[in-house]
């Protein structure tokens, strides 16, 4: 039997295990997936089946949810991430809406940049009427998403972007201020370096109508920035996406500009491009020596090599709902291997998240993953050929690669529950918390098992500690706990935003796609702090930034899985 937590069993049963004549067991599920992914292998199918199965059943590596749900099914869409085009005409807008519905229906999430759409009340020559504007079309997308739920398992998810110079940017910035609107959207302002320079120099900024290219309004960059920060403080939205940073690091910039990411921001993609993700459970990448626990680098390398091959195979045995998606996805062959369980690994190594040692280790670990991922992709290129658009990429002519990108840090909102570990690179949210939403209408109390184990091993666990933790979710206030343990078990809101950002930067440095991270902030966080966080994110060359101020939305699901 696989060693699964009770949460993992629940979530698998509710959403992942196939129910035909009999219900799949988790073993069946991982076998179904491994078998499908191994069909791509010409020789040694059984050997690869075995390897793929083992890394999943040992919870060392898991692919994104759609692969777990759909592999082996007829027309099984295996990718989680898509970007679709938005053009400024009704036909195109509703064609993309239909395509988004097909993608959502099969468990994928879609991102779009709405900046080509003419502003609200602009002229429509064919009807002599006036246009609805980008925000109205987003609302239509949102409503459609609400009604296309994938067999009740996974509803659609969208990323909506509007560029900072669009005439309707002010309306967009406050489009989620009413907490009931655009619930199926994450929204981000598309920021350019020019805007950030204007902000630094306190200059004016021009808003432009994309249909006429004429300036529709001039206002101070600072005023516009402040309106973003005010909204973010109130609701957490909008996030920012740094378009120039993304395109400066785009190995396929000869093919055009990237304008959008998938819903959680970890994959910048061209229009119609899709990407499939997978994450290594770092908690499982350790070895116990006689005196202490260390990272097992050999095991990590082996796992990376298997995972990259797995993800490359996914592209070859994937089902694409549209020919355009198939064409560009097969041409660039982007994959995103990332991590989960980073916080738990740090705890096992007794390194506090909020420490320079942790940030340094983050760089070391991600550099290693990046290098070994590229080695694996290079090896595949030698056997299977480079990705077809390779000649137009910045890797040509010297660096053979099978995949235009190899790494992304996804939020792992669901798969980290299956693997029973902490989300992606996030610190522990709390040591004990009520979790709602794993299954509809259920709320359960949870205490972090790694914490309990540690306390027990030190002889510090007691009934009294148990009830104190349940009450506060933290040990910072508990007497008789040594300072080094208090530091080790600081939770997300107890960690300064500076360390949240340093971790995001450390991982971004060695991630060719992007890093999904929520900078969780206490309720008392000020306007100035949020402004500084957003500015620092740009200076750090992050590709995007999202914050959440505790308590700023009333329907908060305590955990960070977001969409459930
Ligand atoms: P996991 O594999 O389910 O753990 O997914 P992640 O939380 O790591 O998210 C990865 C990507 O999957 C996101 O960026 C989205 O593109 C997509 N995604 C995540 N959650 C949902 C969801 O609830 N619905 C849909 N349609 N897509 C989602
Ligand atoms: N841009 C990018 N990611 C976002 N998320 C939420 N809003 C945005 C946004 N505007 C991501 C969080 C988290 C997940 C639940 O969604 O960073 O990883």
**What pLDDT score does 563 carry?**
36
Ligand 2 centre to CA of 242 (Å) is 14
CA distance 151 to 93: 25
More confident residue, 471 or 490: 490
pLDDT band at 440 (very low <50, low <70, confident <90, very high): low
How far are the Cα atoms of 141, 210, 219, 282, 407 from residue 339, in angstroms, in the given order?
31, 39, 42, 7, 9
Beta-bridged to residue 208, according to DSSP, are: 166, 215
In sign, the C-alpha dihedral spanning 258, 261, 265, 267 is: negative
Q: What is the DSSP string of 497-538?
A: HHHHHHHHHHHHHT-SS-B---EEE-TT--HHHHHHHHHHHH
More confident residue, 490 or 130: 490
Average pLDDT over residues 480-496: 95
Calculate the dihedral angle through the C-alpha atoms of 395, 512, 239, 143, rounding to the nearest 10 degrees: 80
Going by C-alpha positions, the residue among 153, 168, 156, 30 that lies closest to residue 88 is 168
More confident residue, 463 or 424: 424
Claim to verify: residue 19 and residue 119 sit in the same structural domain? no
Going by C-alpha positions, the residue among 546, 424, 559 that lies closest to residue 159 is 546
80, 83, 145, best to mutate for ligand 1 pocket (most atoms within 8 Å of CB): 80
CA distance 319 to 325: 10
184, 239, 263, best to mutate for ligand 1 pocket (most atoms within 8 Å of CB): 263
**What pLDDT score does 104 carry?**
95
Phi, psi of 135 (to 5 degrees): -65, -35
So which residues are the catalytic ones?
262, 264, 266
Claim to verify: residue 92 and residue 68 sit in the same structural domain? no
**What pLDDT score does 559 carry?**
40
Claim to verify: residue 92 and residue 61 sit in the same structural domain? no
Claim to verify: residue 38 and residue 89 sit in the same structural domain? no
Going by C-alpha positions, the residue among 335, 449, 436 that lies closest to residue 78 is 335
**Under 8 Å between Cβ of 275 and 79:** yes
**What pLDDT score does 446 carry?**
80
Range with lowest mean pLDDT among 262-266, 367-371, 381-385, 466-470: 466-470
Claim to verify: residue 542 and residue 442 sit in the same structural domain? yes
In sign, the C-alpha dihedral spanning 353, 354, 357, 363 is: positive
Claim to verify: residue 154 and residue 296 sit in the same structural domain? no
Range with lowest mean pLDDT among 2-11, 61-70, 389-398: 2-11
Residue 208 lies in a domain: yes
Atom of ligand 2 nearest to the CA of 563: 15
Averaged pLDDT score across all residues of the chain: 94
Claim to verify: residue 376 and residue 283 sit in the same structural domain? yes
Q: Which residue has the CA at smallest separation from atom 10 of ligand 2?
A: 239
CA distance 329 to 106: 17
Long-range contacts at 361-364 (CB < 8 A, ≥ 24 apart)? 362/425, 362/503, 362/506, 362/507, 363/506, 363/509, 363/510
- Asked if residue 562 has pLDDT above 60, the reply is no
Residue 146 lies in a domain: yes
CA distance 23 to 215: 60
Claim to verify: residue 391 and residue 441 sit in the same structural domain? no
pLDDT band at 5 (very low <50, low <70, confident <90, very high): very high
- Which domain range does residue 312 map to? 6-75+276-415
Average pLDDT over residues 34-39: 98
How far are the Cα atoms of 21, 29, 123, 413 from residue 11, in angstroms, in the given order?
20, 13, 50, 12
Ligand 1 centre to CA of 109 (Å) is 6
Burial class (CB in 10 A: 0-12, 13-18, 19+), 322: middle
Q: Which residue has the CA at smallest separation from atom 2 of ligand 1?
A: 64
What is the percent of the chain with per-residue pLDDT over 90, rounded to a whole number? 86
ipTM value of the model?
A: 0.96
Segment holding 36, helix H or strand E: helix 26-38
Phi, psi of 510 (to 5 degrees): -115, 25
Overall number of domains in the chain: 3
Ligand 2 centre to CA of 263 (Å) is 7
pLDDT tens sequence across 159-203: 999 999 999 999 999 999 998 999 999 999 999 999 999 999 999
**What pLDDT score does 556 carry?**
52
Among the bound ligands, the one closest to the CA of 232: 2
- Asked if residue 209 has pLDDT above 90, the reply is yes
**Under 8 Å between Cβ of 553 and 236:** yes
pLDDT tens sequence across 49-76: 999 999 999 999 999 999 999 999 999 9
Residue 271 lies in a domain: no
Residue 33 lies in a domain: yes
Ligand 2 centre to CA of 356 (Å) is 25
Atom of ligand 1 nearest to the CA of 156: 26
Among the bound ligands, the one closest to the CA of 263: 1
Claim to verify: residue 512 and residue 543 sit in the same structural domain? yes
Q: Is it true that the peptide bond before 445 is cis, omega within 30 degrees of 0?
A: no
**What pLDDT score does 558 carry?**
44
What is the percent of the chain with per-residue pLDDT over 70, rounded to a whole number? 96
**What pLDDT score does 438 carry?**
58
Q: Which residue has the CA at smallest separation from atom 11 of ligand 2?
A: 264
Claim to verify: residue 151 and residue 226 sit in the same structural domain? yes
- Last residue of one domain, picked from the residues 213, 234, 261: 261
Residue 171 lies in a domain: yes
CA distance 374 to 372: 5
What global pTM score does this model have? 0.96
Residue 379 lies in a domain: yes
**Under 8 Å between Cβ of 351 and 289:** no
Residue 558 lies in a domain: no
- Last residue of one domain, picked from the residues 261, 286, 318: 261
- Asked if residue 42 has pLDDT above 80, the reply is yes
Burial class (CB in 10 A: 0-12, 13-18, 19+), 3: exposed
Tokens representing 298?
Answer: 């050999």
pLDDT tens sequence across 247-304: 999 999 999 999 999 999 999 999 999 999 999 999 999 999 988 999 999 999 999 9
239, 549, 552, best to mutate for ligand 2 pocket (most atoms within 8 Å of CB): 239
- Asked if residue 402 has pLDDT above 60, the reply is yes
CA distance 32 to 119: 48
Average pLDDT over residues 491-515: 98
> The domain that contains 157 carries what CATH number?
3.20.70.20
Q: Which residue has the CA at smallest separation from atom 14 of ligand 1?
A: 264
**What pLDDT score does 526 carry?**
97
Atom of ligand 2 nearest to the CA of 241: 1
Q: Is it true that the peptide bond before 250 is cis, omega within 30 degrees of 0?
A: no
Claim to verify: residue 408 and residue 451 sit in the same structural domain? no
**What pLDDT score does 561 carry?**
34
- Last residue of one domain, picked from the residues 238, 261, 284: 261
Claim to verify: residue 396 and residue 470 sit in the same structural domain? no
Residue 557 lies in a domain: no
pLDDT band at 516 (very low <50, low <70, confident <90, very high): very high
Atom of ligand 1 nearest to the CA of 265: 14
């Amino acid at each position: 039997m696989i060693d699964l937590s009770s949460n993992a069993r629940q979530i698998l049963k509710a959403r992942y295990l196939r129910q035909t004549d009999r219900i799949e067991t988790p073993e069946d599920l991982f076998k179904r997936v491994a078998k499908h992914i191994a069909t791509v292998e010409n020789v040694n199918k059984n050997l690869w089946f075995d390897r793929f199965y083992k890394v999943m059943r040992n919870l060392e590596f898991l692919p994104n949810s759609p692969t777990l749900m759909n592999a082996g099914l007829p027309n099984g869409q295996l990718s989680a991430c898509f970007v679709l085009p938005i053009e400024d005409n009704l036909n195109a807008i509703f064609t993309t809406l239909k395509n988004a519905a097909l993608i959502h229906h099969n468990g994928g999430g879609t991102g779009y940049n709405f900046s080509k759409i003419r502003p609200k009340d602009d002229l429509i020559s064919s009807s002599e009427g006036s246009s609805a504007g980008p925000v109205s079309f987003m609302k239509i997308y949102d409503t459609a998403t609400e009604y296309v739920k994938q067999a009740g398992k996974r509803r659609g998810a969208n990323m909506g972007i509007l560029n900072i110079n669009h005439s309707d940017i002010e309306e967009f910035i406050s489009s989620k201020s009413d907490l009931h609107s655009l619930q199926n959207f994450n929204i981000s302002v598309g920021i350019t370096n020019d805007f950030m320079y204007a902000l630094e120099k306190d200059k004016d900024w021009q808003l432009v109508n994309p249909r006429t290219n004429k300036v529709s309004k001039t206002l101070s960059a600072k005023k516009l920035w402040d309106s973003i920060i005010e909204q973010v403080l109130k609701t957490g939205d909008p996030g920012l996406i740094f378009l120039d940073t993304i395109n400066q690091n785009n190995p396929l910039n000869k093919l055009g500009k990237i304008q959008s990411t998938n819903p959680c921001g970890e994959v910048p993609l061209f229009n119609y491009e899709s990407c499939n993700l997978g994450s290594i459970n770092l908690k499982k990448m350790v070895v116990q020596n006689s005196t202490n626990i260390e990272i097992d680098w050999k095991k990590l390398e082996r796992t990376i090599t298997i995972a990259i091959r797995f993800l490359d195979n996914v592209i070859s045995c994937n089902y694409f709902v549209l020919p355009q998606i198939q064409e560009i996805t097969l041409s660039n062959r982007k994959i995103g291997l990332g991590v989960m369980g980073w916080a738990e690994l740090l705890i096992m190594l007794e390194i506090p998240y909020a420490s320079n040692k942790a940030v340094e280790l983050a760089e070391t670990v991600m550099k290693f993953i990046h290098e070994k991922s590229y080695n694996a992709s290079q090896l595949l290129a030698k056997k299977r050929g480079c990705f077809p658009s390779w000649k137009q990429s910045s890797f040509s002519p010297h660096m053979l690669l099978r995949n235009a990108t190899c790494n992304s840090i996804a939020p792992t909102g669901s798969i980290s529950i299956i693997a029973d570990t902490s989300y992606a690179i996030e610190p522990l949210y709390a040591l004990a918390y009520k979790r709602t939403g794993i299954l509809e209408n259920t709320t359960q109390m949870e205490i972090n098992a790694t914490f309990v184990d540690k306390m027990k091993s030190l002889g510090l666990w007691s009934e009294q500690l148990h009830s104190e933790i349940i009450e506060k979710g933290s040990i910072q206030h508990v007497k008789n706990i040594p300072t080094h343990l208090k530091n080790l078990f600081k939770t997300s809101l107890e960690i300064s935003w500076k360390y949240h950002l340093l971790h995001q930067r450390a991982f971004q440095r060695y991630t060719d796609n992007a890093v999904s991270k929520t900078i969780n902030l206490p309720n008392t966080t000020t306007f100035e702090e949020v402004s500084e966080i957003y500015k620092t994110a740009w200076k750090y060359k992050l590709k995007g930034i999202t914050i959440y101020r505790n308590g700023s939305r009333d329907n908060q699901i305590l955990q960070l899985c977001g969409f459930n």
